[in-house]
């Protein structure tokens, strides 16, 4: 019985992770003022963009990313850009 539950939970987890936008689809960059920008593809959610910013902040030795703002772009591939400030 336990094996069945574990298998079901594992399958659900794999299915949920397959639904997300791959990190390679985001355009992540650092600005001269220390902010982190994330160009998000059409299929991405704000939460996925936040996770991409957190990963970039971790490279800088920080633990969190606080959203500063967002804006629409004219780029068809990346219709939204989010700006984050890294923090501890």
Measured CA to CA, the distance from residue 12 to residue 27 in angstroms comes to 29
The DSSP symbol for 76 reads S
Answering whether pTM is above 0.75, one says: no
Q: Calculate the alpha carbon distances from 28 to 3, 9, 79, 81 in Å.
A: 40, 32, 14, 10
Q: Which residues of the chain have pLDDT under 50?
A: 14-18
Task: Give the pLDDT confidence score for residue 72 in this predicted structure.
Answer: 94
Measured CA to CA, the distance from residue 30 to residue 36 in angstroms comes to 5
The count of C-alpha atoms lying within 13 angstroms of the C-alpha of 64, restricted to the half-sphere facing its C-beta, is 5
């Amino acid at each position: 019985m336990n094996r069945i539950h574990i298998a079901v939970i594992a399958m659900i987890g794999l299915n949920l992770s397959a639904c997300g936008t791959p990190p390679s689809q985001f355009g992540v960059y650092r600005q001269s003022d220390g902010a982190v920008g994330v160009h998000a593809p059409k299929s991405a959610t704000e939460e996925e963009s936040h996770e991409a910013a957190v990963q970039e902040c971790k490279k800088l030795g920080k633990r969190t990313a606080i959203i500063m703002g967002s804006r629409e772009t004219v780029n068809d591939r990346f219709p939204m850009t989010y700006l984050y400030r890294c923090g501890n």
